[in-house]
């Protein structure tokens, strides 16, 4: 009897969405895939050479799943592939961690529900917003505990294909742990008020579907101003996209990817304008034309042959 094998498809996501720090996220039509194949022993082995960091991440996810589910996890071989660039603010690490958690959950009879898997992935990745989007798809609002910031629950809404996300990833990485170090311990009261106002309006517009009202309405004073030096030309790229017809834009996660939200008819012009900023400053970049993934992570039995 051949070993059981499954394939997990996990969507990228753009988190924060400007003022929604560690709260808002949108799943996007860009994917990573993980294949898990059961072993008869307890070893965890890549099918192709991989980095020590990736191996450690997979082993940690397996260990945390075992503890959360209260079961002994079987060993497995794994393969990872896909299009989500690493350390670019599109939730690459969340896709891998979530895929391992969801894959092991399927292989072991699904002892965890979706909320438990989101909670576990958040503990691993310290990103409740990304974890929600990967599993649930759509536009997600994550609720965390006020004192511990631990994930508690989420609300999600679907977004239509008429809303296009132009994501431009420059040819440099921004590690989340580095980007969190530049954030201040305190923020001026007026900056908090301005960001809260923008956050509430952004959620309202996305839920209502009146997307044209996003024009000039999404602003952040909590994290983006402090991360600009780690993301050179990002602010200028967003401004160029908005001048070319985008409704609004933001730094995706902690960067380096920047996102502009637009209509299908303006997407090409927006992408061209955004990429031009990097090109004019001697930086390579790649543009993606994406829509919302409203389905979230999926797990399927792998077909032989």
| Residues 295 and 137 sit within 8 Å (Cβ to Cβ) | yes
Check residue 304 and give its pLDDT: 57
Strand order in the sheet with 285-290: 248-251, 258-262, 164-170, 285-290
Check residue 199 and give its pLDDT: 96
Give the closest residue to 94 by CA, choosing from 222, 272, 238, 254.
254
Alpha-carbon dihedral sign for residues 241, 242, 244, 246: positive
The per-residue pLDDT of the chain, averaged, comes to 95
Check whether 78 has a pLDDT greater than 80: yes
| Residues 75 and 44 sit within 8 Å (Cβ to Cβ) | yes
| Residues 199 and 21 sit within 8 Å (Cβ to Cβ) | no
Q: What is the pLDDT of residues 222-266, one digit of tens each?
A: 999 999 989 999 999 999 999 999 999 999 998 999 999 999 999
Q: How many CB atoms lie within 10 A of CB 289?
A: 15
Q: What is the pLDDT of residues 101-148, one digit of tens each?
A: 999 999 999 999 999 999 999 999 989 999 999 999 999 999 999 999
DSSP codes of every residue in 177-193: HHHHHTS-S---HHHHH
C-alpha–C-alpha distance, residues 183 and 181, integer Å: 6
Check residue 179 and give its pLDDT: 85
pTM confidence score: 0.94
Check residue 140 and give its pLDDT: 98
C-alpha–C-alpha distance, residues 179 and 196, integer Å: 21
Q: What is the pLDDT of residues 164-213, one digit of tens each?
A: 999 999 999 988 888 889 999 999 999 999 999 999 999 999 999 999 99
Contacts of 37 (CB under 8 A, 6+ apart): 3, 4, 5, 47, 76, 77, 78, 302
φ, ψ of residue 50 to 5 degrees: the values are -140, 170
What token pair was written down for 123? 């503990």
C-alpha–C-alpha distance, residues 279 and 93, integer Å: 27
Check residue 305 and give its pLDDT: 46
Rounded to a whole number, what is the distance in angstroms from the first to the last CA of the chain?
A: 15
Instruction: Identify which has the larger pLDDT, 99 or 40.
Output: 99
When pLDDT is cut at 50, 70 and 90, the band that residue 1 belongs to is low
Cα-to-chain-centroid distance, residue 292 = 12
């Amino acid at each position: 009897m051949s070993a059981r094998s499954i394939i997990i498809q996990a969507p990228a996501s753009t988190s924060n969405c400007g003022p929604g720090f560690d709260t808002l996220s949108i799943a996007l039509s860009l994917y990573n895939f993980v294949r898990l194949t059961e072993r008869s022993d307890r070893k965890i082995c890549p099918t192709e050479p991989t980095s020590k960091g990736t191996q450690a991440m997979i082993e940690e996810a397996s260990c945390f799943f075992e503890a959360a589910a209260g079961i002994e996890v079987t060993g497995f071989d794994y393969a990872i592939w896909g299009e989500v660039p690493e350390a670019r603010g599109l939730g690459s690490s969340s896709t891998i961690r979530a895929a391992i958690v969801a894959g092991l959950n399927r292989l072991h009879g699904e002892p965890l529900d979706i909320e438990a898997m989101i909670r576990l992935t958040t503990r691993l990745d310290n990103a409740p917003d990304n974890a929600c989007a990967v599993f649930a798809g759509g536009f997600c609002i994550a609720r965390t505990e006020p004192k511990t910031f631990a994930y508690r629950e989420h609300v999600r809404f679907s977004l239509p294909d008429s809303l296009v996300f132009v994501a431009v990833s420059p040819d440099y990485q921004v590690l989340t742990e580095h980007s969190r170090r530049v954030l201040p311990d305190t923020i001026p009261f007026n900056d908090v008020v301005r960001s809260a106002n923008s956050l509430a309006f952004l959620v309202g517009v996305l839920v209502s579907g009146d997307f044209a009202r996003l024009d000039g309405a999404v602003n952040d004073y909590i994290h983006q101003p402090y991360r600009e030096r780690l993301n050179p030309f990002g602010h200028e790229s967003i401004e160029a996209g908005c001048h070319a017809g985008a409704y609004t834009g933001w730094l995706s996660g902690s960067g380096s990817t920047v996102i502009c939200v637009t209509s299908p008819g303006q997407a090409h012009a927006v992408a061209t304008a955004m990429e031009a900023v990097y090109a004019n400053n001697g930086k390579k970049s790649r543009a993606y034309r994406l829509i919302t993934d409203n389905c979230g992570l999926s797990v399927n039995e792998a077909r032989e042959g």
